[in-house]
Each structure stands twice: as structure tokens, then as C-alpha cells.
Amino acid sequence: MIRIGIAGYGNIGKGVEKAVNAATDMELRAVFTRRGTDTIKLAGRSIPILPIDDAEKMSSEIDVMVLCGSSSSDLHDHGPRFASCFNIVDSFDTHAKIPEYMATVQAAATKTTAIISAGWDPGLFSMVRALSEAVLPDGSNYTFWGEGVSQGHSNAIRSIEGVKMAVQYSVPIQDAIDSVRRGERPDLTARQKHLRKCYVVAEPAADKASIEQKIVTMPDYFADYDTTVTFIGEDEFIANHQKMPHGGLVIRSGKTGSNEQVIEYSLKLDSNPEFTGSIMAAYARAAYKMAADGLFGAKTVLDVPLAYLSDKDRNTLIKELL
């Protein structure tokens, strides 16, 4: 059994827990948290809940530590710190900072295998982008996200005065998808690719017109998009906007000679954090096997042969799935 630890028990940590408990070749050994250990209520069977600062003491008890802290606040610390004494997997998702983050993990992972950015984007979508580009070099990649909840954009709305609750859905624009599927290789602005739909519960005394204006003009987050703001009641918010669906598409259209070729990959997810947790669990298995083969250092999904992800041996995999 591959012994798994989870560092950080938010939504993704709970997703990893569910995936590990469902696997037949992995067992969850401990959950590490920086919150009070008595505030954590596990979804699955009872295992030790320990302060994250004591994690290193467990290095002989855990084969792979799955890092479920936030990319913006936790992983810059957790990545190199845990990679120095555990095999790790994370889903570090600040695309622009991956090379810098990877370098710090690489420096620490001299005797461990550290697979970073193993979610669905970065992660599965990156694999499709890289594979598609290699196979169809004369072509263009397009990535669409949604329809789904963007936590970053939801948080940005919540930071506005007078907002009690808020959620933001990114919605890909069908005309853009259709053009890409037809192989037209359009140049698309941010506005032409995605809509932003916001549902907001305002404080009773709040100025709704002002909130809406602050949202739609917010730089980086909303100003470059067509954004709709719908004010709803708290009951409706709780009834209809508590789920975390997501998904998206990667399409590459290209040519070989004069022939059009189109590759498309899509995800339709009822639970984004559970799907991300399932990916991380599969990469935890890969980290364990790669470490056993002495393949140490910082790795990405582009470095891991797919056979490492499966609980089946290679011959079975080749026979059943090739």
C-alpha cells in the first residue's frame, strides 16, 4: 500500500481524501493542517490529524505527501519544504510562476520525486496542448474554461464593500468554439472567448448600482470581458450556487499539407475539487513509482510516462488499454 499524507484540508484536500480512500493500492495515513487539529472533521474514515509544523516527524510513515494548500499563499513554502523530505504532488496553478516555483522545488528534491502542477489546468490540459502541438506543428491551440466557478474572480467580487456573498462563472462563448472547430484559427480577444456571469448577494443597505459598476470595471478580472451581474437573495444563493462545477475545452486545429485536422479534449465536471483531487491521487501513485525507480527531482505532467499513473502493471495496461 502506498502511504499518503495530505497537507492542507480544504476542498481539494477533501477531494484527494475521497480518491485515496477509493483506491485499492493507497492508504491515507494522516492529514496535516495549520488550523486547530480539533476543528477538522474528516469526510472519510478516521486517521490522525496533525499540525502541519510536525509533518517532518512523519517522513518515515508517509510515501507521498499531497500538497493541497493554496498556490498564492502556501505552496511557495510547502513545495520546497516538503520536497526535501517527502515525495510530493501539488497542483500549483499560477501559470506564470511555474518555472520559478519549479526551480525551488528542484533544488529541494535531491532524494525525492516532486510532481508539480498536476491538476487539470495546469495538468491534463497542458498534456493535451503539448501532445497536440507535437503532432500537429502547423496549427493553433485554444483553451476555453467553463462553464464553471472561478474562485479568484469570486473572491475579487467578495472584496467589494457591500457584497455579502458572490460567485462568478466563466462561460466560454459558443461562436468562438464553433469557429475554432471549423479550423478557422481565429485571433480571439479575451472578450471573444469568455463571458463572466456574476451572482451577488448584497448587504441590505448596499448600493447595488455601485457594486455592479465596481465589478464590471475591475481591471484584469472583469474590465476586458462582457460581464453580467445578477443580484439574488441569500436563500437562492445557498440553494443554487454552492456547487463547484467546472470544465473546459482544449482544441487544436491544424493542417498536414492541405488537409484540416482537429483535436479536441473536453472536461465536464460536477465537482472541480474532487476531480483535481483524483488527478493528484493518480500522480501520487506515479511519484511513488518514479521514486522507486530513482527518478528524483521536480517533474511535471510532461515528464511522467502514463503507465506510472495506473494501478495496473504495464503488461495488463498494454493488453487492456493500448
Binding-residue pattern over the window 137 to 156 for a copy of itself, x denoting contact by CB under 8 A:
xx--x---------------
Report yes or no: 170 and 153 within 8 Å, Cβ to Cβ. yes
Q: How far is the CB of 73 from a copy of itself (least distance, A)?
A: 21
Report yes or no: 227 and 196 within 8 Å, Cβ to Cβ. yes
Of the candidate residues 42, 131, 206, 232, the single one contacting a copy of itself (CB under 8 A) = 131
Nearer to a copy of itself, 133 or 226 (CB): 133
Nearer to a copy of itself, 234 or 311 (CB): 311
DSSP secondary-structure letter at 251? E
d(C-alpha 252, C-alpha 120), whole Å: 17
Report yes or no: 93 and 118 within 8 Å, Cβ to Cβ. no
Binding-residue pattern over the window 255 to 294 for a copy of itself, x denoting contact by CB under 8 A:
-xx-xxxxxxxxxxxxx--xx-xxx--x--x---------
With the CA atoms of 300, 244, 13 and 85 taken in that order, what torsion angle do they form, in degrees rounded to the nearest 10?
20
Q: How far is the CB of 142 from a copy of itself (least distance, A)?
A: 13
Strands of 1-41, DSSP E? 2-7, 26-33
The amino acid that residue 282 corresponds to is A
Of the candidate residues 13, 15, 146, 297, the single one contacting a copy of itself (CB under 8 A) = 15
310 contacts a copy of itself (rule: CB under 8 A) = yes
Q: How far is the CB of 184 from a copy of itself (least distance, A)?
A: 14
d(C-alpha 35, C-alpha 263), whole Å: 44
With the CA atoms of 177, 183, 186 and 191 taken in that order, what torsion angle do they form, in degrees rounded to the nearest 10?
0
* Piece in contact with a copy of itself (CB under 8 A), picked from 15-23, 193-201, 216-224, 230-238: 15-23
H or E element that contains 253: strand 246-256
Binding site for a copy of itself (CB under 8 A): 15, 18-19, 22-23, 95, 98-99, 102, 117, 122, 124, 126-131, 133-138, 141, 181, 256-257, 259-271, 274-275, 277-279, 282, 285, 300-307, 309-311, 314-315, 317-319, 321-322
